Amino acid sequence: MIYDVIIIGSGPAGLAAAIYAQRAKLTTVVLEKEYMSGGQVVNTYEVDNYPGLPGIGGFELGMKFREHAEKLGAQFINIEVKHIGLEDEGRVKVVYTDSEEFRARTLILAMGARHRELGIPGEKELAGMGVSYCATCDGAFFKGRTVAVVGGGDVAVEDALFLARGCEKVYLIHRRDELRAAAVLQEQLKKCENVSFVWDSEVVEISGEDHVECIKIRNKKSGEEKVQDVDGVFIAVGTIPNTGNITELLHLDKNGYIPASEDGKTEIPGIFAAGDIRTKQLRQIVTAVSDGANAITSVQAYINAL
């Protein structure tokens, strides 16, 4: 079978694309690596900036996206994509997995992104033993304890806010002297009496026997180092696009993202990029959903021109 469109990834971009594809009566299949749809949003405690649904839980929002797509008849297959190829002079896109191959006239790449690591001693060794990349996933284990959050963007501040509700003490460590997070989030965090800011600093080592016990912090301006006792470290320093299985197919920018504008068009006709995986100014749930819708509009135009 040759589908009209194959969607790789089931985060907000992929799910929005699935919804729009079903409404357009395109033969569609969504290939998802994870056992749960929703992408990074399912690990977000509270989403307060999605229009019309202020304060909705990230998991709930992700499930609503999935339920909407399923209600319209979207087909999902839990399988990992190994690489992508072209047949018939590029008119047919082939998606290879360990067990089978899928073919389509068009392809939407919506694989999203993953958490960026610090790459410091102790990080990998203590992962799951106090080192975490998801405060909403693991924060409950640190109730009444002392933790550190590394980062200065929206996610880092949201993590610190979440942890401050249950932890005795939260240190927010940022390499600059001001945060990059939205002003409203900064205001909320500054009101938390149990949150301390550690400016112009970076964590250079995480230590502990069978769990996190302390971190070494270096001031980037003075070079001074100090050891801070903590029970957990939550790392929120950005993301890396999941483009590993397409590096031989498409050119990527210096950060590994797919160069594509709002219409999702890539350098290969019939292949489109949507969500956090493409070059864009803002990576948010609302922009990912928009990308998915735009990609299907481009898919329709491409198919109609064949």
CATH number of the domain enclosing 277: 3.50.50.60
pLDDT digits (tens, 9 = 90+) for 7-26: 999 999 999 999 999 999 99
Does 280 fall in a domain?
Answer: yes
**Mean residue pLDDT across the chain:** 94
Q: 187, 202, 235 — which closes off a domain?
A: 235
Domain coverage including residue 149: 131-235
Task: Indicate the number of domains in the chain.
Answer: 2
Residues 38, 100 share a domain: yes
Residue 259: pLDDT over 90: yes
Confidence of residue 112 (pLDDT cuts 50, 70, 90): very high
Positions annotated as catalytic residues are 134, 137-138
The reply to whether 126 falls in a domain is: no
- Answer with the one of 199, 218, 235 that is the final residue of a domain: 235
Point out the domain boundary residue: 218, 235, 252. 235
Query: pTM surpassing 0.75?
Result: yes
Q: Give a three-class secondary structure readout of the chain.
A: CEEEEEEECCCHHHHHHHHHHHHCCCCEEEEECCCCCCHHHHHCCCECCCCCCCCECHHHHHHHHHHHHHHCCCCEEECCEEEEEEECCCCEEEEEECCCEEEEEEEEECCCEEECCCCCCCCCCCECCCEECCHHHHHHHHCCCEEEEECCCHHHHHHHHHHHCCCCEEEEECCCCCCCCCHHHHHHHHCCCCEEEECCEEEEEEECCCCCCEEEEEECCCCCEEEEECCEEEECCCEEECCHHHCCCCCCCCCCCECCCCCCECCCCCEEECHHHECCCCCCHHHHHHHHHHHHHHHHHHHHCC
